[in-house]
């Protein structure tokens, strides 16, 4: 094993290449490349809070790693207005009950309780783990991975590292089993907010370390399901071998390979169109529809915030689609992947979330800065939010969001695969847009909202001012039945009433959620869709109004939208204030 060289004497590898060869593998990483902190001092004292002093000021301006405290940041975002989310109290974990119907949700997914909790920081990185694309792994890798999962399945049931206990982590954090510590009966929920990426990053981190420990290979790295690349747009073949430990029988049988993943869930059956839809969705949720970091990461969620303040574009888009697409329609609640309480029981879950986590890394470090407005949330309520997990030694540990911001510092990276969606901007659509706006007799939005979304609706929304191109479409106070799969697409000046082709300029974005058991009434969500590029592509910046079409992709009722409006994109400094919860 290569030993760690301190970066003070050996320059860290320069920044991560944008389009490296797909076969590019780093086997002996030296330390994190972006921060020229002395790795030695960082690593010799992994509990040190004082790395700031060792950081060159230029590096603070160019990029920040997980070891830096919030106070060191020059924040352009609004200060905290409450307190960070605290980890749940394990012995208060309960069986979720639906308070509205009184129905016992009849799942007990509470972890074993231990007294001693230790504060955890990622240990020094001696060798970088490289998470491989699941479609490209070798037979040896598949063998090892199955051996690890098999051993996990054989651990005693009450071992917190056992297969079901690991699956139950997801259940407990996502289905109302925990209340927010110190907040009465307010549910703790790690989805549909800015906690989404950090929670799942830590979850996979310990899951991966447990697997590595079980096969005596500390370099073991989870695979990622590369569903954003056409070559990865089927369930990775290794997961469909019924004899494999990573197999799960509760999956939609119609969607086994060679079925092409449908990230848009439009029902379009032409595989080539579906691939094009998928790339458009990736471009939209990673680049086109986000005006600030909250639009991508999810809305603020602090102590006292009601659940589901608003999912980010990636969570509600590709992430939700993969869950629901794989979940088994023969099962009552779409088990396993199609419902939060059971999702962790399918090994494919962790592979799916590998790619979800990769999207966060891409957002932070690889997307060209002219395409990504801000890369980091600097709010202390975000950075200091905390969770608890059992580590690979079955020790209960407390972790914070600020320690997971940099995947390299956590000791893993992703195999480099090119990003075919990076420039997948839809072609201009100006002529059609013009016809729509002159011919539209659609009612004004103000006459329809609050709106129960039960079919396709079309209406006009006034722009903030003529000629102002930098605007956002805000859908506010969205209330959903949490137990159902719900999804709708948003189109602007589109002539089509049931578009199953998303690869066009008129496609503005998506709202969708994975079904879950909800103990209490869910809060209301807000999402925002940036319209700047859409206005350009359709040449409608100078209009007074736009025509919006909402196309539900689910059957039946379940979504109410409180209001819809267009606002001017706030200047950067006000981004967090605009995103602050309204309650």
Nearer to ligand C2O by C-beta: 327 or 380?
A: 327
* H-run or E-run covering 166: helix 163-174
Asked if 170 is part of the footprint of ligand C2O (rule: CB under 6 A), the reply reads yes
Q: How many CB atoms lie within 10 A of CB 56?
A: 11
Cis peptide bond prior to 6, omega within 30° of 0:
no
Minimum Å gap between C-beta 551 and ligand C2O is 24
Nearer to ligand C2O by C-beta: 343 or 576?
A: 343
Angstrom distances, CA of residue 218 to CA of 126, 143, 159: 10, 16, 20
Catalytic residue among 36, 135, 163, 170: 170
* H-run or E-run covering 535: helix 532-538
Secondary structure class of 433 (helix, strand, coil):
helix
Retrieve residue 287's tokens.
């680049």
Question: Which positions from 222 through 281 interact with ligand C2O, judged by CB under 6 A?
Answer: none
Catalytic residue among 200, 352, 389, 459: 200
Nearer to ligand C2O by C-beta: 169 or 502?
A: 169
Nearer to ligand C2O by C-beta: 55 or 134?
A: 134
Binding mask 339-368 for ligand C2O (x = CB under 6 A): -x--x---------x---------------
Minimum Å gap between C-beta 28 and ligand C2O is 32
Counts for the chain of helices (H) and strands (E), in that order = 15, 13
Tell me if 357 sits within 8 A of 200, measured CB to CB: yes
Minimum Å gap between C-beta 170 and ligand C2O is 5
Minimum Å gap between C-beta 172 and ligand C2O is 11
Catalytic residue among 353, 389, 485, 488: 353
Minimum Å gap between C-beta 352 and ligand C2O is 7
> How is residue 286 annotated by DSSP?
I
Nearer to ligand C2O by C-beta: 279 or 337?
A: 337
Count of residues that interact with ligand C2O, criterion CB under 6 A: 9
Minimum Å gap between C-beta 179 and ligand C2O is 18
Asked if 191 is part of the footprint of ligand C2O (rule: CB under 6 A), the reply reads yes
Tell me if 337 sits within 8 A of 323, measured CB to CB: yes
C-alpha triplet 524, 526, 529: angle, nearest 5°: 160
Q: How many CB atoms lie within 10 A of CB 465?
A: 10
Secondary structure class of 237 (helix, strand, coil):
helix
Retrieve residue 241's tokens.
């071998």
Asked if 129 is part of the footprint of ligand C2O (rule: CB under 6 A), the reply reads no
- Catalytic site includes residue 554: no
Asked if 302 is part of the footprint of ligand C2O (rule: CB under 6 A), the reply reads no
Minimum Å gap between C-beta 192 and ligand C2O is 10
The values of phi and psi at residue 412, to 5°, are: -140, 155
Distance CA 117, CA 123 (A): 17
Which candidate, 432, 452, 392, places its Cα nearest to that of 209?
392
Catalytic residue among 220, 340, 349, 382: 340
Nearer to ligand C2O by C-beta: 34 or 170?
A: 170
Asked if 319 is part of the footprint of ligand C2O (rule: CB under 6 A), the reply reads yes
Distance CA 558, CA 454 (A): 8
Nearer to ligand C2O by C-beta: 200 or 288?
A: 200
Distance CA 217, CA 347 (A): 19
Three-state SS letters, 273-340: HHHHHHHHHHHHHHHHCCCCHHHHHECCCCCCCCCCCCECHHHHHHHHHHHHHHCCCCCCCCCCCCCH
Nearer to ligand C2O by C-beta: 201 or 323?
A: 323
Asked if 323 is part of the footprint of ligand C2O (rule: CB under 6 A), the reply reads yes
* H-run or E-run covering 451: strand 451-452
Q: How big is the chain, counted in residues?
A: 583
Q: According to CB under 6 A, which one of 4, 109, 169, 174 is a site residue for ligand C2O? A: 174
Minimum Å gap between C-beta 345 and ligand C2O is 13
Catalytic residue among 36, 135, 319, 516: 319
Is 136 exposed, middle or buried (CB count within 10 Å of its CB: 0-12, 13-18, 19+)? middle
Question: Which positions from 408 through 437 interact with ligand C2O, judged by CB under 6 A?
Answer: none
Q: How many CB atoms lie within 10 A of CB 313?
A: 28
Three-state SS letters, 77-126: CCCCCCCCCCCCCHHHCCCCECCCCCCECCCCCCCCCCCCEEECCCCCCC
- Catalytic site includes residue 516: no
Distance CA 96, CA 174 (A): 10
- Catalytic site includes residue 135: no
Which candidate, 421, 184, 437, places its Cα nearest to that of 318?
421
Nearer to ligand C2O by C-beta: 121 or 131?
A: 131
Asked if 316 is part of the footprint of ligand C2O (rule: CB under 6 A), the reply reads no
Asked if 161 is part of the footprint of ligand C2O (rule: CB under 6 A), the reply reads no
Minimum Å gap between C-beta 88 and ligand C2O is 15
Q: Please give the positions annotated as active site.
A: 170, 191, 200, 319, 323, 340, 353
Residues of this chain that bind ligand C2O (CB under 6 A): 170, 174, 191, 200, 319, 323, 340, 343, 353
């Amino acid at each position: 094993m290569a030993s760690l060289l301190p970066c003070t004497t050996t320059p860290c590898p320069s920044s991560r290449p944008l389009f490296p060869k797909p076969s590019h593998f780093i086997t002996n990483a030296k330390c994190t490349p972006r921060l020229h902190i002395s790795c030695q001092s960082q690593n010799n004292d992994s509990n040190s809070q004082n790395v700031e002093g060792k950081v060159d000021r230029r590096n603070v301006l160019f990029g920040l790693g997980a070891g830096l405290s919030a106070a060191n940041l020059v924040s352009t975002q609004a200060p905290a207005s409450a307190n960070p989310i605290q980890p749940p109290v394990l012995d208060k974990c309960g069986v979720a009950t639906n308070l509205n119907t009184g129905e016992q949700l009849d799942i007990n997914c509470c972890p074993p309780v231990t007294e001693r909790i230790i504060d955890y920081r990622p240990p020094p990185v001696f060798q970088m783990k490289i998470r491989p694309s699941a479609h490209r792994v070798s037979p040896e890798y598949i063998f090892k991975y199955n051996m690890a999962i098999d051993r996990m399945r054989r651990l005693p049931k009450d071992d917190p590292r056992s297969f079901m206990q690991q699956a139950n982590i997801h259940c407990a954090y996502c289905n109302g089993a925990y209340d927010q510590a110190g907040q009465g009966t307010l549910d703790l929920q790690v989805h549909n907010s800015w906690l989404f990426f950090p929670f799942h990053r830590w979850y996979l981190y310990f899951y991966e370390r447990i697997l590595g420990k079980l096969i005596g290979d500390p370099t073991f790295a989870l695979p990622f399901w590369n569903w954003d690349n056409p070559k990865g747009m089927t369930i990775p073949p290794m997961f469909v071998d019924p004899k494999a430990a990573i197999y799960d029988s509760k999956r939609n049988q119609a969607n086994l390979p060679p079925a092409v993943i449908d990230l848009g869930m439009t029902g379009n059956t032409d595989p080539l169109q579906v691939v094009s839809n998928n790339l458009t969705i990736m471009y939209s949720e990673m680049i086109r529809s986000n005006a600030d970091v909250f639009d991508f990461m999810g809305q603020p969620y602090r102590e006292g915030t009601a659940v589901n303040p608003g999912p980010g574009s990636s969570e509600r888009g590709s992430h939700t689609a993969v869950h629901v697409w794989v979940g088994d329609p023969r099962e009552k609640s779409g088990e396993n992947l199609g419902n939060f309480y059971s999702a962790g029981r399918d090994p494919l879950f962790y592979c799916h979330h590998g790619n979800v986590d990769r999207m966060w890394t891409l957002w932070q470090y690889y997307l060209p800065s002219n395409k990504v407005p801000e890369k980091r949330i600097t709010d202390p309520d975000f950075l200091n939010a905390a969770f608890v997990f059992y580590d690979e030694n079955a020790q209960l540990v407390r972790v914070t969001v600020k320690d997971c911001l940099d995947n390299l510092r956590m000791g893993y990276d992703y195999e480099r695969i090119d990003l075919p969606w990076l420039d997948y901007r839809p072609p201009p659509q100006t002529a059609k847009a013009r016809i729509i706006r002159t011919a539209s007799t659609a009612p004004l939005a103000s006459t329809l909202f609050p709106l129960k979304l039960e079919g396709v609706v079309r209406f006009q929304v006034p722009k903030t001012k003529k000629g102002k191109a930098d605007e956002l479409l805000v859908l506010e106070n969205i209330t959903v039945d949490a137990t159902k799969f719900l999804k709708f697409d948003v189109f602007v000046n589109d002539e089509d009433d049931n578009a199953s082709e998303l690869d066009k300029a008129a496609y503005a974005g998506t709202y969708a959620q994975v079904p879950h058991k909800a103990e209490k009434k869910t809060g209301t969500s807000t999402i925002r869709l940036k319209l700047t590029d859409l206005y350009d592509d359709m040449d409608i910046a100078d209009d007074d109004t736009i025509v919006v079409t909402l196309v539900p992709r689910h059957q039946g009722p379940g979504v109410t939208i409180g209001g819809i409006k267009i606002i001017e994109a706030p200047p950067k400094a006000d981004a967090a204030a605009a995103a602050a919860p309204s309650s």
